Amino acid sequence: MDYTNLLQQADHFLVYSYRENHRPQLCFHKMDRLKLMHCAKLICFLIMGLFGFKSVCYGQMGGGLRVGGNISRANGNAFGGNRVGYQLGGDLIFPLNSKMDIQVEPTYNLTRIRVNDNTASLSGGLSKGTRSLKYLNTPVYLKINFTGKFSVLGGLDFNLLLNDDAYKLNDGTPAFNSRTRIGYALGIDLGGLYFRYRQFKKNNKIVDNWDAHIDQYQLGFKVRLF
C-alpha cells in the first residue's frame, strides 16, 4: 500500500476542511471585533461627553438613591380604577448655578393598571384584569432649589417597556408598545421625601384606546450619597 500517497490525500483533505469550516468563523470573529470597536468608541464618546458636561457645571456632580410607591391609572374606555405599584432608582445631579440643577433619575418602575371588559370581545381588545407593566423610565428634570430642603422639578420623561411580550390582544399581537414613549413629569423634593406626577401617551395597542395616557403619582424616600 502507498502510505505516502494516502498521507498526502489525508493532508489535502484536512487543509481543505479547515479552510471551508473556519472561513465563516474568521469572518464572524472579524465582525465581532468591528462591533466591539464601535461599542468602545461609543462608550468613550459618552464618557467624554459626561466629563465635558461636568466641567461646565457650577459645582461637583452629585448622586443618590430613591425608593417609593406609586398609584397609576390609564384613561380611555378600556381601563378602570387605580392600582398600586412601586419604583426604585437613583439620581444624577448636575449643578447649573446655586439655585438650579439638571437632575436625571434612571428608575425601575412597576406600573399596574386595571383593564375592564369593554373590549374583551373584540379582535383588537384585551381581557379584563390587572396588568403589571415593568418600565425603565428616565426623567430629565430642570430642578429649582428654593431652599436647601425644598425644590420644584419639571421635565421630559423617557419610558421603555421591559416586558412588552407579557400581554397579548385577542388577535395575538402585543397589547403594549415596546418603543420608547416620551411624556412629562413634575415633582417636589422636600428633605428626604419626594413627590412625582408623570404622564405619557400611546402606551398601548388596544382598539380605540391608542391615544390613552397613563397618569401616575409617586411618593417615596430619597438619600443623597455624594
Total number of domains constituting the chain: 2
* Segments of the chain scoring below 50 in pLDDT: 1-3, 6-7, 10, 13-32, 35, 38-39, 42-43, 46-47
pLDDT of res. 153: 98
The pair phi, psi for residue 128, each rounded to 5°, is: -70, 145
CATH of the domain at 102: 2.40.160.20
Query: 85 and 181: one domain?
Result: yes
- What's the whole-model pTM score? 0.74
Query: 23 and 82: one domain?
Result: no
Query: 21 and 126: one domain?
Result: no
Query: 5 and 89: one domain?
Result: no
What is the residue range of 48's domain? Answer: 1-56
Query: 204 and 168: one domain?
Result: yes
Query: Taking the alpha carbons of 189, 222, 155, 73 in that order, is the dihedral positive or negative?
Result: negative
User: Cα–Cα–Cα angle for 46, 66, 74, nearest 5°?
Assistant: 95
Q: Dig out the grid coordinates for 138 from the structure.
A: 428616565
Query: 199 and 113: one domain?
Result: yes
Single residue among 9, 34, 56 that ends a domain in this structure: 56
Query: In terms of DSSP bridges, do strands 193-201 and 107-115 run parallel, antiparallel, or are they unpaired?
Result: unpaired
Query: 75 and 181: one domain?
Result: yes
pLDDT of res. 51: 56
